[in-house]
Structures are given as structure tokens and as C-alpha cells.
Amino acid sequence: MSHPLFDISGRTALVTGSSRGIGLALARGLAEAGCTVVLNGRDADRLERAAAGLPGEVHTSVFDVTDGSSVGAGMAEIEDRVGPLDILVNNAGVQLRAPLLEFAESDWHRLLDTNLTSAFLVGRAAARGMTERGHGKIINICSLQSEVVRPGIAPYAATKGALKMLTKGMCADWGPYGVQVNGLGPGYIETELTGPLVRDEEFSAWVRRRTPAGRWGTTQDLVGGVLFLASPAADFVSGQVLYVDGGMTSVL
Ligand code: NDP
């Protein structure tokens, strides 16, 4: 029998950027735990296909997390159609790699908008209802690059480092109203986003060598952490980032 501290059945959860990859795996985990799940992305057909593979009550909501008016309309529509949100996972993100001297200004803005501004926009919209109702869980998908950085990925690391501090700031502002805000920091996980790195034999071998667990992570590796942070077991956990990285951020 599962412990009641981990019971999140009947809760309603939105996972941004859940048409594939980590977001879809997290949405599946929440659905399997008995949550009503709302999938989000920019492509309605892709979202419908993703929703078809999940158990239980699953909804889709098409909006662009970088656009304030799109977020506002999408979040209002979710509240009307599905009901109040108990859990928000800010997962949508992009990774763009290039040496800083060659990094385009437009790419800088795209990274900031998708990885950081999105969490502010969607988090703020969700927290309005959560703080009124006196409970809610927000989980921001950070990265091992919230802590450490390699050459060629400084702008991405800057967005994820800032997302860690936004997590702490949300915890400070919304904690008094019963909302816990935490981060989950994945290590190197095999998804479409990391496809080119996985296919690069040299890089792939480097990841295996550098990770105490000796392998790349899978999207499934991240599910337990999110279920914990979304559950009553984490009611006194806030402002933290839980790194799920096979130990990589802990070793030189
Ligand atoms: P993918 O590229 O596989 O998936 C990204 C998801 O985000 C897609 O569902 C995409 O949907 C959605 N998305 C992108 N831009 C927007 C937008 N403007 N509005 C709404 N949805 C959007 O990425 P991953 O699953 O690998 O990564 C997910 C998160 O995990 C990201 O925040 C990433 O930084 C983080 N992360 C990933 C790691 C990894 O190793 N893979 C490691 C550490 C952190 P669509 O295109 O259909 O709109």
C-alpha cells in the first residue's frame, strides 16, 4: 500500500512543454499517480497525439509560454474548462549552444523568453489562484547547468541559474500563502533536445565517464522527484532544487 503522504490522486496538474521529452514523461507520471493532467505546447495535433497515450483524464491547452497574452488566455481557459490548478510544472525550454563571441542577440532573447520569462508568466498566472486558495505546488525544471557550466553553453546556463533564483523568490513571495515552489535539476537526459549530443560519440562517452552513475539519464529517472515535490510529503520543502543527475554536479 502506498503511503498517504505521497497521495496526489484527484489533483489537477499543468505541465508546460509536454508534447514530448521530459514534459511528456512527467505528465505521464502525474497521470499514473491519479492526477487530472493538462498538456501544453504550441502545436495542437502534436498535443492530441501525446494526450492519446496517457491514462485517466487528460486535457490539452495550446499556448506559447513566451507570450504574456497567450499565457493569460490559456490559463484562464484551463481554469474555466478543467478547474483550478493544484500543481504546475514549468518545463518548456530550449537549449542553444555556441561560443559567447558568436552567440546571436536574437538567440539570447529566445533563450531568456523560453527558459525564464515563461516561468514568471505561467507561474504568476497559476499562483494568483493558488495563493487565494491557500495551497499549490510549483516545480520549475532547472538543470545541472543551474550550478555548473561548460564552454559554449553560457547563455543557457545563465537562464537556468536565474530560474533557480526565481524559484527561491517565488518561494519567498508565495510561501506565506501555502504555495511551495521548488526546482528539479536534470543532468544529461536523452531527449530530442540532447539528440545531437547523444549522437556525438565522443561527447556521449564523456557524459558516461563524468557521471558517477555511468550513464545518460532517461526521462523516467525524473518522474519520482516531481511526484515527491508535488506531494504532501514535500509540504515543508520549498525554495530547493533537487538535482537528478546521477551524481554529476557533486564530483569534479
Ligand atoms: P524537448 O526539446 O524534447 O521538449 C521541449 C518541449 O517544450 C516541447 O514539448 C515543446 O513543445 C515545448 N516548448 C518549447 N518552446 C515552447 C513555447 N514557447 N511554448 C510552449 N511550449 C514550448 O526538451 P526536453 O524534454 O529535453 O527538455 C525539457 C526541459 O528540461 C527544458 O526546460 C530543458 O532545458 C530541461 N532540461 C533538459 C535536459 C536534457 O538533458 N534533456 C537537462 C536539463 C534540463 P512544442 O515544440 O510542441 O511547442
Question: With 80 as the cut, is the pLDDT of residue 226 above it?
Answer: yes
Q: Total structural domains in the chain?
A: 1
Vertex 231 angle, CA 245 and 145, to 5°: 25
Could you confirm whether 177 is annotated as catalytic? no
Q: What's the mean pLDDT in 50-61?
A: 97
The helix or strand, by DSSP H or E, that contains position 124, with its residue range, turns out to be helix 118-133
- Centre of ligand 1 to C-alpha 21, Å, is 7
C-alpha distances out from residue 145 to 23, 35, 117, Å? 18, 30, 17
Q: Give 84: exposed, middle or buried? Use CB within 10 Å, 0-12, 13-18, 19+.
A: middle
pLDDT of 220: 98
pLDDT of 123: 98
Residue 208 lies in a domain: no
pLDDT of 2: 86
* Amino acid type, 170: M
Return the residue whose CA atom lies nearest to atom 31 of ligand 1: 93
pLDDT band at 1 (very low <50, low <70, confident <90, very high): low
CA distance 83 to 21: 26
Residue 62 lies in a domain: yes
Would you say the CB of residue 216 lies under 6 angstroms from ligand 1? Answer: no
Residue 201 lies in a domain: no
Query: Domain residues for 108?
Result: 4-190+218-243
Would you say the CB of residue 200 lies under 6 angstroms from ligand 1? Answer: no
Would you say the CB of residue 159 lies under 6 angstroms from ligand 1? Answer: no
- Centre of ligand 1 to C-alpha 232, Å, is 27
Average pLDDT, the chain: 97
User: Is ipTM beyond 0.95?
Assistant: yes
- What ligand 1 atom has the least distance to the C-alpha of 194? 41
Candidate of 38, 42, 167, 208 to mutate for ligand 1, largest count of ligand atoms within 8 Å of Cβ: 42
- Centre of ligand 1 to C-alpha 2, Å, is 31
Q: What's the mean pLDDT in 17-40?
A: 98
Candidate of 14, 20, 60 to mutate for ligand 1, largest count of ligand atoms within 8 Å of Cβ: 20
Return the residue whose CA atom lies nearest to atom 39 of ligand 1: 189
- Centre of ligand 1 to C-alpha 4, Å, is 31
CA distance 163 to 169: 10
Residue 210 lies in a domain: no
Would you say the CB of residue 227 lies under 6 angstroms from ligand 1? Answer: no
22-33 pLDDT, tens digit each: 999 999 999 999
pLDDT band at 11 (very low <50, low <70, confident <90, very high): very high
Question: With 90 as the cut, is the pLDDT of residue 208 above it?
Answer: yes
Residue 225 lies in a domain: yes
Q: Which CATH number characterizes residue 41's domain?
A: 3.40.50.720
Would you say the CB of residue 228 lies under 6 angstroms from ligand 1? Answer: no
Residue 108 lies in a domain: yes
Residue 17 lies in a domain: yes
Residue 248 lies in a domain: no
Taking alpha carbons only, the member of 52, 50, 31 closest to residue 40 is 50
- Centre of ligand 1 to C-alpha 100, Å, is 22
136-169 pLDDT, tens digit each: 999 999 999 999 999 999 999 999 999 999 999 9
